[in-house]
Amino acid sequence: MALHFRSLCSSSAGNSLIIWGEKTRLLIDCGISSQRDCQAMLAKEFPNPGDLDAVIVTHAHGDHINYSTLKVF
């Protein structure tokens, strides 16, 4: 089984990456600064809401997860 990953954003302003295989898609961190930007990124990467299986938060710094992002999920 192949395992893939792609960085969606990586900077002090926000970090997020996606890991996927045949059956599972994981979002690791989602440090996007606004709900609108977060929703746009998720809609682009996961056009069907059921495509995302889980979100893993590595630690509670604002560039990895923040209040605005939590309201999207």
CA distance 43 to 39: 6
Percent of the chain with pLDDT over 90: 15
**Residue 73 DSSP label:** -
Q: Using CA of residue 36, residue 14, residue 65, residue 8, what is the dihedral sign?
A: positive
Dihedral (Cα; 16, 20, 52, 40), 10-degree rounding: 40
Tens-digit pLDDT profile for residues 10-41 = 887 788 899 999 999 998 888 787 888 888 88
Q: How confident is the model at residue 73 (pLDDT cuts 50, 70, 90)?
A: low
What does pTM read for this prediction?
0.77
Q: What is the pLDDT of residue 72?
A: 73
**Residue 27 DSSP label:** E
Q: What is the pLDDT of residue 26?
A: 92
Residue 51 φ then ψ, to 5°? -70, -25
